[in-house]
């Protein structure tokens, strides 16, 4: 059986949840062809499905040494690093990938969500100023290239507003969060950040009005845990 056919077999077995059988085939491929890039990607994905992230990480690292441009490899490598709590490296890998694709993956345009994810990882690593510079780089250089992912356009704005709040830049945070809720692609999380910014700017009366509007119009009367927390802060 040709190596490509074996890989298809691996994918089929993995889709069926037969991970042990799929791994055996991967191991046999590596024994005969240790520099075949695709097998490391497929085995890494199997390890992720088994929640064996450390092993997946090793396979993605091996893959990237063989083929740094393998489709999706850096993305999954970054995600795995993040899941393992290695946020600084995850963010650095992600940023390198984003900068190497100024028009986005496969010419589909820039993904706002990917830039937001990169900034969040820097924040999780305690690098708020780097996160801020990353988001400002996105707004200044890459935001105009957002095309097919317009529905995610508020993600970087939301992360930026939350970051500004953590940096005690309350008025600017309120201004930025206001941009997100004015977007036609606004999501509930944007509204929650906006309300939080109102509270931080001592606009509690308006925050209370917005909470009632949010609960009645967006959540059909249901109060999320975040809204419950924000209401307590007003009291």
pLDDT over 70, % of the chain: 100
- Please compute the mean of the pLDDT values over residues 181-206 and round it to a whole number: 96
pLDDT band at 96 (very low <50, low <70, confident <90, very high): very high
Distance CA 37, CA 34 (A): 8
pLDDT band at 234 (very low <50, low <70, confident <90, very high): confident
Sign of the CA dihedral with 191 first, then 195, 196, and 197 last: positive
Distance CA 57, CA 97 (A): 17
Whether the CB-CB separation of 87 and 124 falls below 8 Å is answered with: yes
Which domains are seen in the chain, by residue range? Answer: 1-84 (1.25.40.10), 86-152 (no CATH), 153-235 (1.25.40)
- According to the model, what pLDDT value does residue 219 have? 78
| Other beta carbons less than 10 A from residue 31's beta carbon | 8
Q: Angle CA(176)–CA(178)–CA(183) in degrees, nearest 5?
A: 105
Asked whether the predicted pLDDT for residue 1 surpasses 80, the reply is no
pTM above 0.85, yes or no: yes
- According to the model, what pLDDT value does residue 141 have? 96
Distance CA 74, CA 166 (A): 29
């Amino acid at each position: 059986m040709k190596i490509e056919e074996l890989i298809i077999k691996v994918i089929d077995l993995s889709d069926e949840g037969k991970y042990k059988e799929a791994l055996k085939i991967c191991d046999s491929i590596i024994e005969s062809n240790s520099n075949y890039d695709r097998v490391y990607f497929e085995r890494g994905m199997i390890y992720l499905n088994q929640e064996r992230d450390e092993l997946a990480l090793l396979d993605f690292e091996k893959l990237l040494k063989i083929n740094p441009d393998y489709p999706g490899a850096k993305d999954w490598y970054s995600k795995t690093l993040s899941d393992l709590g290695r946020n600084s490296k995850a963010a650095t890998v992600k940023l390198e990938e984003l900068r190497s694709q100024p028009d986005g993956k496969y010419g589909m345009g820039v993904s706002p969500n990917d830039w937001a994810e990169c900034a969040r990882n820097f924040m999780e690593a305690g690098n708020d100023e780097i996160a801020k510079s990353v988001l400002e780089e996105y707004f200044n250089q890459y935001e105009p290239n957002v095309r097919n992912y317009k529905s995610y356009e508020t993600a970087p704005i939301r992360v930026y507003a939350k970051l500004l709040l953590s940096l005690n830049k309350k008025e600017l945070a309120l201004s930025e969060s206001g941009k997100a809720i004015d977007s036609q692609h606004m999501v509930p999380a944007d509204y929650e950040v906006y309300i939080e910014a109102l509270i931080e700017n001592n606009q509690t009366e308006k925050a209370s009005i917005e909470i009632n509007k949010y609960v009645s119009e967006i959540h059909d009367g249901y109060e999320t845990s975040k809204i419950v927390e924000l209401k307590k802060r007003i009291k």
